[in-house]
Amino acid sequence: MYSVIYLNLFFYLSSSLVFPTPTSKTPGWHPISFLKNYNNKPKQIEFIDTNYVLWKGDNQFHMRPNVCPHQGALLSEGKITDNCIECPYHGLKVGPYDTSHSECRENYGKCIVKQDIIWWSNNVNEDLSNIPVCDEINSDCPKCQMEINIQNGFSDCFKNSMDFHHAAFVHKNTFGNYAGEPDSIEEFWNKHGQLEGKFNYGSNDNYGQVTGGTTYNEHIYCQPSTTYNIVRGKDDKFMIIHAAMRAISEKETKWFLTASSNFVPNGPIGYAILERMVRKVAVEEDGKQLRKMASDEEKLKHSFKFKLPLDSIYYDWNKNYESPAFLEKELFNSIESNKDINILCEKLSSYNNTIQSNSSLVNTKWILLHSKYKTKHTLTREWIFKNNARESTLLKNGTIVNVFGKMEYMNKKVKVYDLKAFIQNKPNYKMNKIDKLPFDHHSFEIKYISDTLFIRKGLQSNTWEVLIKDTTY
């Protein structure tokens, strides 16, 4: 079982825009249960890799694998005795207060209750200030909490909470406004290590009455698996949707949803409004769409061909899990094994969004690793200077083709023009000019440059070209 899970995790790490699935071993605070749903009995808590048991002893919550250390009975079928779980098989008391066997006293992580959610970390020293709650959720405003299971994996569920382009379509019967594309997007990592996205969004006719027509939206994404949205309208009105998630299988994710708002009245009426809204938006709209998504394997084969404006936040989030060095290594392996490299190139391009081409590219030498037009058994070298460049290709038969051109820079776009080509044949390799070329220029956009790698995208061909630093000269 574990080997399958680890393979899946590696697949997630190696893929574009498919987020790694948190397991019980992932650092950070995981949602375990709403406090109201704990009934003072041992409760099984499912993670994608391990099932745990939750219980309360001496006014504290505890977690450990749902397996008796003696002969493997399910502890969740036992009962709480002397602040421990009494195993239903042999009556052993399991928990930190046990006085008999040291193996029964093993402690696994730490549980904390905050905002009526039981949170757990596998690290007893986990920073309490990183519990991903929303400070604006308080007792002064109506609040409802709902625990639901969504029939899809963690990656799609978490991306759904990050994505706002779908609102006009999936949520067209609630708050979605087809005419109102988000604008004024701002993305940054805050002081708590959380990713924030801020933008304005026009309300539809129904919601415009209470929002004033346009809402200011703050979306906060917290490691490893929590997100919350604050929607601000007129007269200091706001609504908060807090979604903490836990992957319980490859195709099922448990959501812990908290909705709070001063749009609605206090008391039972306000609670009923919030509950209906959460059920409508999360279960009937998001849940329905998430049940009908393609598999991750299918998505990686056929999707991610282009980006919408707010998709950039996915790339920022993935930077938590993938370093440029890791992605470069994956790219080399993919080229060597003749795999599709589009995804990895897109991911690497997100790391160099501020480079200046004329300073990063000048006086560099490269070897072409991958191109639509590169044929097997050829070696192509490029020398790039300030205002001109040279490309030399050694063919299989020993012939050398040289192309010279002038260079023009415009931000990250480069044009090589006024091309002159020469061919050198055995035995004396005398240069003979080629009078007619199949193209008169080559234009590309610089996507990524490091000490070893240069990735660009041809503007005419719309295909990726990958070059490695030439250290032979």
Instruction: Say what the pLDDT of residue 302 is.
Output: 78
Q: Where are the domains positioned within the chain? A: 30-130, 143-294, 357-469
Instruction: Say what the pLDDT of residue 17 is.
Output: 61
Q: What is the pLDDT of residues 79-136, one digit of tens each?
A: 999 999 999 999 999 988 877 788 778 779 999 999 999 999 999 999 998 999 998 8
Instruction: Say what the pLDDT of residue 6 is.
Output: 34
Instruction: Say what the pLDDT of residue 180 is.
Output: 62
Phi first, then psi: give them for residue 265, nearest 5 degrees: -75, 160
At CA 29, angle to CA 316 and CA 10, rounded to 5? 55
Instruction: Say what the pLDDT of residue 204 is.
Output: 66
Residue 136 DSSP SS3: coil
What is 331-364 written as a DSSP string? HHHHHHTT---HHHHHHHHTT-SS--HHHHSTTE
Phi-psi bin for 238: left (phi > 0), alpha (psi -120 to 50), beta?
beta
The answer to whether 227 touches 317, Cβ cutoff 8 Å, is no
Instruction: Say what the pLDDT of residue 89 is.
Output: 93
Q: What is the mean pLDDT of each run of 10 residues along the chain (473 residues)?
A: 34 51 93 95 95 93 94 94 92 84 83 96 92 87 92 92 81 71 74 81 66 77 92 84 95 95 85 89 90 83 74 75 83 88 80 60 92 88 92 91 91 89 85 84 90 91 92 76
Instruction: Say what the pLDDT of residue 304 is.
Output: 74
Instruction: Say what the pLDDT of residue 315 is.
Output: 73
- The CATH architecture of the domain made up of 30-130 is 3-layer Sandwich (2.102)
Question: Residue-wise over 126-164: b if at least 16 C-beta within 10 A, else e?
Answer: beeebbbbbeebeeebbbbbbeeebebbbbbbbbbbbbb
Q: Which CATH entry fits the domain spanning 143-294: 3.40.50.2300, 3.30.160.110, 3.20.20.80, 3.90.380.10?
A: 3.90.380.10
- Residue 472: name the closest of 381, 406, 405 by CA: 381
- Measured distance CA(131)–CA(153) in Å, rounded: 23
Q: Which fold has domain 357-469?
A: Lipocalin (2.40.128)
- Measured distance CA(20)–CA(223) in Å, rounded: 11
